[in-house]
Structure 1
Amino acid sequence: MSYLLTAPETLAAAATDVDGIAAAIHDATAAAAGRTSGLLAAAGDEVSAAIADLFNTFGVEYQAVVKQASLFQNDFARALSSAASTYAQAEALNGALVNGVQSMLAQPPTAATAAATLTDPITALIMGGTNDPIPNAKYLTNVFNRYIKPLYPGATFGVLPTPEQFWPVTPDLGTMTYTQSVAKGVSILNNAVNAQLNAPIPHDVITFGYSQSASIINNYIVQLMANGSPHVGDLSFILAAPGNNPNGGLLSRFPGFYLPILDVPFNGALPAGNPYETYVYTAQYDGIAHVPQYPLNVLADINALMGYFYVHGNYPLISAADFSQAVQLPTSPGYTGNTKYYMFLTQDLPLLQPIRDIPYAGPVLADLVQPQLRVMVDLGYNYGYADLPTPAGLINIPNPVNVAYYLAKGTLLAPYGAAVEIGVQAGLWGPEYFPTEYPWVPSTNPGLNFYFGPQFSQPSVTALSMLSGVLGDVLHIIPPIFN
């Protein structure tokens, strides 16, 4: 067996040196151009003229050769630089899967650890999201350190390339529609898992999926359960920003609906009876994983739409400090499932982010209205239990006492917080003086709507869910015309 050893940092340094050599050749050539091709005859005789012509011709040819050498140096430098980048990424993507090289990842765990059940050598397969079929090294290492290492410190990890296409949104990747891309991803994941389970030294497998690849995991779990749930105890899953989040996912809020042309089926919630150890991470107000339960609340809808742009992309590169603040969500009484649900609270409403992005004045202006707006937005949610599939409903019943109290409180907190913001920007004091109570800060359940128990406040069937199913059946007739 032969091995290929590389040192990307050496290649990068060599590329810099070679690039310097190329620059030196170019400067020397320019300086010597006149001296190597402008030789005058020593005398007026034919011999002197012939000698001068000979050396001038040689000088011209020399300049041409040096020019080619300079071009070669430039190409060689680019090749070395590209090779350094390629090898560095390849090592990060695959090195750990081959030989478990993870000493560089010796950061302390930041998330709450769990009683992990996998016992064999463990391989973590990490997938990207839409338009990211092969995540880069930064994505991989951060995902491993935040989501996987706290649960399985001894695991090795590697990238699992999947299509992650969404035609026509991702034309550069290919022509697969969302449904086709997810189906292909399920097949790839199944093959990769079986390869680990059936290796000469079997490995248990933990799989991480984000956004579209979280849907891959959801569909894979459904497939496993349809086949008798094999390998329970050997498999574990982590879903970040899943559209199939039972209480909040876009694909579970409107079960049975279908987006024609784009080919997106709303296939419902992650199975409640999932027997595999599973962890679900949702960011508050994410427009894919945490959409309003009551879509008649227009403010909540717009906020979630803005959350797609300002919140949905934050999962892979979340900081250690923010990850450590993830809140474990409650599950229904008597829940005996194997899935744990976590939420990253979102301090700044996505709805106000365009204002907040205005230099200096923007954050102050946003602070003046955000507490009251947060109350109005949160009326679009009845947080409830995380494990219960909760489709969208038409009518919520606000708690007038709580709503009035928090609106009044927000009106008092807003100017105080804005004043603190001015002081923070001026360097007069630190952010520790900001208010620490709702509605200045977010909450997983502020109690703005009455909760009458799961049967009434989180019914599995609503008028909207029945309507979305009927519409979905009709819309399935329309083919994905882009493919």
Structure 2
Amino acid sequence: MLIAAILLIGAHLNSTGVAALAKFGIVDAEGISLRAFQTALIMNGTFEPVVTTEWIRQAMSEFVTPTLGEGYFGTAMNTPEEFWPATGLFSMTFDNSVQAGYALLDTQVHQNLSESPRAPLAVFGYSQSAIIASLEKRTLATEFADPKETPPVSFVMTGNPYRPNGGFLSRLPLVARLLTASSPMTASPTDTVFATHDIARQYDMWADFPTYPLNLLADINALFGLLNHWYLPESVNPLLGNLISTVSLDPASPNYDPDTVVQHYGDTTYYTIRSQHLPLLYPLRWIGLGPLTDIVEPTLRVLVELGYDRSAGYGQVVNAGLFPAIDPGKLIDDLGAAFAEGGTALRALFAPPASAPAG
């Protein structure tokens, strides 16, 4: 009798504990750990269909873990990532590549959900695969309209061409229709229950394109801003070596910028990582003319920023416009501060070298 009573009490405590842990999403109803099955599907961008172990490591440490927390296991999600003719005369068009990648991702996501419907699942997309991730997010939002049945899926996107305010394809809808005719989309959705983290580098042409394309200086800077489209060391063209900087959201990383702009809109948290220098001036810095560019860069940055409207926030769709609404007083103040900063750089350039202390 005593043994039976002990077993009965133990069974009750065990079932109560499982129920409590299940309530917090730590285990499922059978007591199987969900944390052990936290998967992050990691995709790469155009030109990089095969996801390497190093890419997974960097994506996890620099972006997935800082935004979603510890416990996810990164796994490769290979997608075509082609863009005819840049990726070869016999490669897929951008549209077909996106559609093929989306089909692969959708199949994998639903396979994961069927095997572990309550286990947290993350999707990481970069550049072209950020579009693929956006399509999957839209599909899941339609498929799971009832919030009570929504699976624990989250998204992390970098260099997203469909970022609502800044994405190249969101900014230019006509271009978007040409490039992605099979999957028309205004912007990455923000009205779902799927937590999303959207990361962009300032002046990245694909994720931070000018609002006012008639500002040719901003356009040229954005074109050079393709050099800001590299986010992780693994993606940098080896020919450029250490000339290109990379970024991180991990506060412990040397590539982390504490001045990163963070905004929340709908289901999405937006991160915009400031560009230390104008991409337009990168080539001059590469050939050793950094001190000279320091003189003109502050003024050029003010003029480039006239090509942007950042007041609406990054979560609201802002299409390309013709002319910005310029506040003359603010412009004069900004130019005055820029001239002063450039003047300081000029004086530093021609200042006599400090003499060594006597002794």
TM bin (shorter chain): 0.7 to 0.9
Aligned residue number for residue 269 of structure 2: 340
Give 1:421 shift: 7.2
Q: Does 1:375 align with 2:302?
A: yes
Aligned 8 A contact 1:235 1:276 in 2: yes
CA pair 346-389 structure 1, distance change in 2 beyond 3 A: same
Greater shift in the superposed pair: 403-412 or 118-127 = 118-127
Choose the corresponding residue for 2:82, options 165, 173, 180.
165
| Whole-angstrom distance in 1 between the partners of 2:135 and 2:255 | 29
Conservation of the 8 A alpha-carbon contact between 2:113 and 2:151: no
Q: Quick check: 1:253–1:268 contact (8 Å CA) kept in 2?
A: no
User: 2:350 & 2:39 partners in 1: Cα distance?
Assistant: 49
Which residue, out of 230, 243, 262, partners 1:329?
Answer: 262
Which residue number corresponds to residue 286 of structure 2?
357
Return 5+ residue gaps in structure 1 as ranges: 1-116, 429-483
Aligned to 1:273: 191
Residue 239 of structure 1, CA deviation: 0.7
- Does structure 2 retain, via aligned residues, the 8 Å contact 1:254–1:268? no
Asked if the contact 2:212/2:323 (under 8 Å) is kept, the reply is yes
Partner of 1:155: 72
1:394 and 2:358 matched: no
Relative to structure 1, the CA distance from residue 381 to residue 134 in structure 2 (aligned partners, 3 Å threshold; closer, same or farther) is same
CA distance in 2, matches of 1:260, 1:133: 22
Query: Which residue identity is paired with 2:142?
Result: A
Amino acid at match of 1:211: S
Q: Which runs of 5+ in 2 are unaligned?
A: 1-23, 27-33, 234-245
Residue in structure 1 matched with residue 167 of structure 2 by the alignment: 249
Aligned to 1:440: none
The answer to whether the Cα contact below 8 Å between 1:367 and 1:414 also exists between their aligned partners in 2 is yes
Deviations 1:429-464 (CA, angstroms, capped at 9, x unpaired): xxxxxxxxxxxxxxxxxxxxxxxxxxxxxxxxxxxx
Question: In the alignment, which of 36, 42, 48 is matched to residue 126 of structure 1?
Answer: 42
Query: What is the TM-score of this pair, normalised by structure 2?
Result: 0.76
Q: Identity rate of aligned residues, in percent?
A: 32
Count residues with an aligned counterpart: 302
Distance 1:198 1:263 in 2: 30
| 1:392 partner SS | coil
The 1:229/1:239 distance shift into structure 2, 3 A limit, reads farther
Q: Report whether the alignment pairs 1:235 with 2:153.
A: yes
- For residue 187 of structure 1, the aligned residue among 103, 125, 135 is 103
Distance 2:131 2:259 in 1: 21
Question: What SS does structure 2 have at the residue aligned with 1:397?
Answer: coil
1:208–1:153 Cα change, 3 Å: same
User: Compared with structure 1, are the counterparts of its residues 410 and 358 closer, same or farther at alpha carbon in structure 2 (3 Å cutoff)?
Assistant: same
Contact 1:284 1:343 in 2 (8 A): yes
**AA of the residue aligned to 1:290:** D
Q: CA deviation at 1:228?
A: 3.8
Pair 1:296 & 2:224 matched: no
Question: Whose radius of gyration is greater, 1 or 2?
Answer: 1
Question: Residue 180 of structure 1: CA displacement?
Answer: 0.9
